Amino acid sequence: MTALNLDPAPVPVLVVGAGIMGLGIAQVAAQAGHTVLLFDMRAGVAEEARDKLGTSLQAMVAKRKFTSDDVAKILSLIVPIVTLEEAASAGLVVEAIVEQLEAKRGLFQQLESIVAPDCILATNTSSISVTAIANGLEHPTRLVGMHFFNPVPMMKLVEVVSGLRTAPAVAEAIFTLSERWGKSAVHARSTPGFIVNRIARPFYAEALALLQEQAATPVVLDACLRAAGFRMGPCELMDLIGHDTNFAVTQSVYEANFFDKRYVPSLVQREMVDGGMLGRKSGQGFYSYASVASVPVVSPRANAVLPTVKHVCLHGTGALADALQAALLHAIESSLVNSSLVRATVQYAPDSDWVGLEVAGCQLRLTDGRCATQLGKEVCVFDLPVLTQSSRAVTANSVLAWAPSGRASSAWAKQAPQWLEAMGFIPQQVADTPGLVVARTIAMLVNEAADAVHQGVCSAPAADAAMKLGVNYPAGPFEWLATLGSAPVCALLDVLDTHYRGERYRVSPGLRHSLWKN
Ligand code: NAD
């Protein structure tokens, strides 16, 4: 193939598959001024899809998101066609048909005999190898992944996925075109799950692992991760995605990685699928959606009343110690706590190898991965209160997981959460589990991202952009890493690895290597 000129006059785009994704892609391409030829193998579906789009765009005219002229223009550019032969003029094909290798490969082979040799062939596959789809094509270098996210008009991210034989110029042309369509593009190499579906696995897997060992309830897990800045908790999100879909993606990533134990699917989720508890779509998942579709929230408790103390000592340094200090001083200054603490002095132990609070010889430590019981007698551990330097300081009424040592006195086990309350948190007791809830989840997301970069799947900035734009994470994994530091993240993962054995928590060589660079 020669020319890759998708600019300046917008080339006609053939969209194959007029389902959820195909129609969204057609809309976005038409909005960018392309004539879109829309094809679906089921007769009448392309026409129906365009009519459906017309209805939804009209509704947006009422909300002043579009003018009537905009809608007329967009619809006039979308042309349903009944045979693929009508698309010979296309300069770009975007395929959004059923997620089956043979169907996609067959379609592209057929298209090669219809479109010009310089027409770019893009697949919107979310899980199939781009390399495998291209195998057997006359010009495999022109096939590239163009992975949109649902709903296409709203979601900014496009993963531009290169297979083994994709020409770099083709990937670059699709990158540029995606940006011109108002999207943010990232390059990815064709590997299982690409970027987002790979790095996101631990967000679900850690919650499912904690549920399996009965460490916490879905309500608590969701509340903790929402408080950490995620738009939705993992359980409510899995309910929304559908457990069948989520389970299928996990299984496909697991199988595609030659059954690497790091990606083992969860028995908890399989049982839900087996039982037809698929989430919102079936009316029951972790939560019930029978009547009003709302997810329970954890509410704040009353202000704490703490025993009189002369002083408290803040241990450790770094972003999390700073956040804790800010919370404590705020609590004292705003008299959130009883007057005895207002008179107490705050001492500092910056050289301490742990972060947290010490009161009369009792410790309330930020989790470093180790269980409270492992750490000693008068010890309680709590979860991450802050995640990024800039975007999230400690917020009042943030739910926080904590756990007492199995050897702690009942007095300290009672007082420790009151200290957390005094600092503006809503403590939720979970089992004494390594890495509690947020810390282990973040560490695993960072680890997976580090592994993806280590294996050349994407760059670190691409991983950050993809997770923020593709699944609305509050920060990118490398932004968390910059805040937390490689050493604590590695140490936390090593604790998990030792505790559970198996492969799930093995530290990425890329992350381990970053230890020595700092
Ligand atoms: P969908 O079932 O809504 O639509 C698929 C459409 O393709 C159907 O209308 C079907 O009739 C048509 N079709 C199937 N085989 C065809 C063929 N050989 N030729 C022409 N038309 C054919 O599916 P969807 O959710 O829009 O997914 C489409 C693709 O996009 C899949 O590869 C999927 O993995 C990927 N994807 C989906 C999502 C999502 O959230 N739904 C997100 C990203 C990527």
pLDDT higher than 90, residue 303: no
Q: Which residue has the least CA distance to atom 8 on ligand 1?
A: 19
Mean pLDDT of 261-278: 97
Catalytic residue list contains 330: no
Catalytic residue list contains 159: yes
pLDDT category at 168 given cuts 50, 70, 90 is very high
Structural contact between residues 106 and 132, judged by C-beta atoms closer than 8 angstroms: no
Q: What's 416-466 look like in SS3?
A: HHHHHHHCCEEEEECCCCCCCCHHHHHHHHHHHHHHHHHCCCCCHHHHHHH
Going along the chain from its start, the domains and CATH numbers come out as 13-190 (3.40.50.720), 197-274 (1.10.1040.50)
pLDDT higher than 60, residue 6: no
Q: Which of 197, 246, 486, 514 is catalytic?
A: 197
Torsion of the alpha carbons at 256, 504, 245 and 151, rounded to the nearest 10 = -90
pTM of the model: 0.92
Give the whole-number percent of the chain exceeding pLDDT 90: 79
Q: Which residue has the higher pLDDT, 320 or 401?
A: 401
Mean pLDDT of 184-192: 98
Q: Which residues pair with 214 in a beta bridge?
A: none
In the block, residue with structure tokens 């003018």: 67
Q: Which residue has the higher pLDDT, 272 or 360?
A: 272
Sheet containing strand 362-366, edge to edge, reads 345-349, 311-315, 356-359, 362-366, 379-382, 398-404, 425-429
Residue of 28, 39, 40, 123 with the most ligand 1 atoms within 8 Å of its CB, for mutation: 40
Q: How many whole angstroms separate alpha carbon 426 and alpha carbon 441?
A: 19
| Of the candidates 457, 426, 13, 397, the residue with the CA atom closest to the CA atom of residue 191 | 457
Using one digit for the tens of pLDDT, what is the confidence trace for 411-458?
999 999 988 888 888 899 999 999 999 999 999 999 999 999 999 999
Catalytic residue list contains 397: no
Catalytic residue list contains 311: no
In the block, residue with structure tokens 């631990």: 202
Using one digit for the tens of pLDDT, what is the confidence trace for 347-404?
999 999 999 999 989 999 999 999 999 999 999 999 987 654 443 445 545 899 999 9
Please work out whether the CB of residue 40 comes within 6 Å of at least one atom of ligand 1: yes
pLDDT higher than 70, residue 20: yes
Structural contact between residues 434 and 496, judged by C-beta atoms closer than 8 angstroms: yes
Mean pLDDT of the chain: 91
Q: Which atom of ligand 1 is nearest to the CA of 107?
A: 18
Sheet containing strand 78-80, edge to edge, reads 78-80, 36-39, 13-16, 92-95, 120-123, 143-148, 157-162, 184-189
Using one digit for the tens of pLDDT, what is the confidence trace for 39-98?
999 999 999 999 999 999 999 998 888 999 999 999 999 999 999 999 999 999 999 999
DSSP state of 288: B
Per-residue pLDDT at 291:
74
